[in-house]
Every structure is written in structure tokens, then in C-alpha cells.
Amino acid sequence: MFEEINNINIEVQNFQSKSLEEIDQFRISYLGKKGKITLLFNNFKLIPVEQKKEFGARLNILKSSALEKINLLKSSLKDHSKSKKTDTDYTIPGQPTNFGSRHPITLIRDRIINVFSHIGFSISEGPEVEDDWHNFTALNFPEEHPARDMQDTFFITDDIALRTHTSSVQVRVMENSKPPIRTISPGRVYRNEAISARAHCFFHQVEGLYIDKNVSFGDMKQTLLYFTKSLFGPDTKIRLRPSYFPFTEPSAEVDVSCTICSQKGCNVCKYSGWLEIMGCGMVDPNVLENCNIDSNIYSGYAFGMGVERIAQLIYQVNDLRLYSENDLRFIKQFRSEI
């Protein structure tokens, strides 16, 4: 047995190969289930007791030597493959990297979110397919309101439709949260309108909601003034014109001073010096009660704006269809704003 160990050790030390297949075959021949060294371990029980200690030690040394030989040969093969010359010409100029562009709607939406995030507004999202309660009824839309008509809304069933505004998200927030609530709801909305340069069947909104004790119309005005100055510049002015929305009372339309002509009059502002950007108002008590909020204790304001409208004012894009046509010539113009 001891002589067999010596003979196998000589074979191991003399083995040389530059082929991975040969090295693997060598490993199987000596260390596999039926390998020479493995068989010696299996025959260990046949060794006399007084020789077991010496035989076991020499056998372990043999196994370690074989493993070391295999690893050494494999390592030399890897080093050789790394140093092998290739036909690659590293002096050839590389292919230029084409950088993409963020969509202008995404750019403006993120700017709007960033402004309101600085003053404590959280972000809320909800489903684009809504039921009648969240899209209309809870928001104080009467049964006969025109927005319920098929010409304005994409109805899926009598009670299910594509949401016409992200106010439906605000209803869900009020139903599942206790005041104080301070949140904005960005998202895509749908209306059954003819597609033209000034209108589309889908567009994007960012709507805001603030509910707490003793919230006033003046609080809303200061918030919107901060927003417009942050987005359009510190010299921006706003004005609020009386309007009507089913879910707010009183309600108003918000205009900003035209940044193109500095209120001198131009074709963008139709020579009025003002540009309409959003609607707003104090949350109607009926809406609060529909969402299980006590209108005798809490009050709040809401506002909503179209992202395309804001983008149009900032980027001077005069055709809404450009936002959804995926024309790379149009998108590439916004590459510098990434």
C-alpha cells in the first residue's frame, strides 16, 4: 500500500497538460468516485492498526498534492488565455453614446412636485379606472351635471369610467386619512374630446388638497403665490377670478402675469397680460361630509392644473398633439434639461 502511494505520487508530480479537458480527466482518474486516490481511502480499513496513522497521513498529503497540481495547471491556463494576443485594434474610435431625453411633461410634472414637496405636500396616487362615487358623487356632482354626459367621459359601464380628474385620488385620501391632510395628486386623466392643437382625449393633471382646522382662502392664495413665483420667477403676479366648480365653494380661476411680454400684451396672452393656469377653491362642506370629515371642525382648499398647460407656457409649445406623437425631433429639444 505504501509503495502504491509512492507510485501515484510520482504520477501526479509528472503530469503536465495545457488542455482543460485533460486536466479534468486527470482529476476524475485520481480523485473521482473510482479514482486511484479514492480507492486508497476506501481500502484504509484493510491497513493494520499499527500502520493506520502513518498511512492516513501520507494519503492526505497525496490528496492535497493532487488537488494543488490540478489548481496550479488550471490557473496557468487562465493566465495564458488572458495574455493571448487578440485581433482587437484598441486605437479605433469607439461608437458615440446616444443620450436620451426626458419628456417635457415629465420635466414639468417633476418641477411642480418639487415645489410643493418643499412646503410639506405628500404625493398620492390612485387608479385611472374609477367608479362613479370617487369620480363624481363624492365630489358633489349632481346627477344632471354635464360632466356625466357621454360626450365628456369615457364610460366603461354605467358605474365605471376612466377618471376625468385626479380629484378622485383626493377622495380616497380623505376616506382613508384623518386631518390634517396636505397632498398633491399627479396623474393622467381622460376626457371624451376631439383631438386638436388645443385639446386631447388624455392629458396630465396635478391637483392639491389641504385640510385642517381654520384653513382660509388667504392660506390658499399664499400657497399658490409661492408656487407661481417658484415656477415662473420671483416677479410673477397672480390674480383670482370668481368661477364655479361642484367640489369647491367659493371657487376661482388663477391667472399669472405673462412672463413673455411682462404684461405688455402679446399673442400668447392674447394681449391681456395674463395667462390662466389652474382652478382652485375652498373644499365644499358636502365633499368633506361625504368623506366622513366633520365640516364644522375642518375646512380646506383644493387646486388643480394641467401639466400640458404649464409646459405650454414655459416651453412655448402651441400644439398639444406634439406631447404624445413620440417625434424624436421634438423630444430632443429638451435634452439639455436632463
CATH of residue 125: 3.30.930.10
pLDDT at 127 over 80: yes
Query: Are residues 173 and 232 located together in one domain of the fold?
Result: yes
Nearest to 337 by CA among 113, 103, 118, 109: 103
CA distances from 140 to 168, 246, 287, 302 (A): 12, 6, 6, 14
The amino acid sitting at 282 is: M
Query: Are residues 315 and 228 located together in one domain of the fold?
Result: yes
| Residue 99 resides in a domain | no
| Residue 87 resides in a domain | no
| Residue 92 resides in a domain | no
Terminal CA-CA length for the chain: 76
Mean pLDDT of 269-273: 81
Phi–psi pair at 113, nearest 5 degrees: -60, -40
| Contacts (Cβ under 8 Å, ≥6 apart) of 214 | 299
**pLDDT given at position 130:** 95
Nearest to 281 by CA among 216, 188, 189, 206: 216
Confidence (pTM): 0.68
* pLDDT above 90: percentage of residues in the chain: 45
Query: Are residues 147 and 182 located together in one domain of the fold?
Result: yes
Rounded Cα distance, 68 and 44, in Å: 22
| Residue 88 resides in a domain | no
Query: Are residues 50 and 117 located together in one domain of the fold?
Result: no
Query: Are residues 62 and 109 located together in one domain of the fold?
Result: no
Q: Which residues pair with 211 in a beta bridge?
A: 181, 300
Tell me the residue range of the domain where 189 lies: 104-337
Query: Are residues 190 and 251 located together in one domain of the fold?
Result: yes
33 or 255, which is more confident: 255
Query: Are residues 307 and 163 located together in one domain of the fold?
Result: yes
Average pLDDT, the chain: 85
Query: Are residues 251 and 306 located together in one domain of the fold?
Result: yes
pLDDT one-digit tens code per residue, 16-73 = 877 778 878 877 877 777 777 777 777 667 777 777 777 677 777 877 887 887 788 7
Query: Are residues 194 and 250 located together in one domain of the fold?
Result: yes
| Residue 191 resides in a domain | yes
**DSSP element (H, E) containing 104:** helix 104-117
pLDDT one-digit tens code per residue, 1-18 = 667 777 777 777 877 877
Rounded Cα distance, 152 and 78, in Å: 69
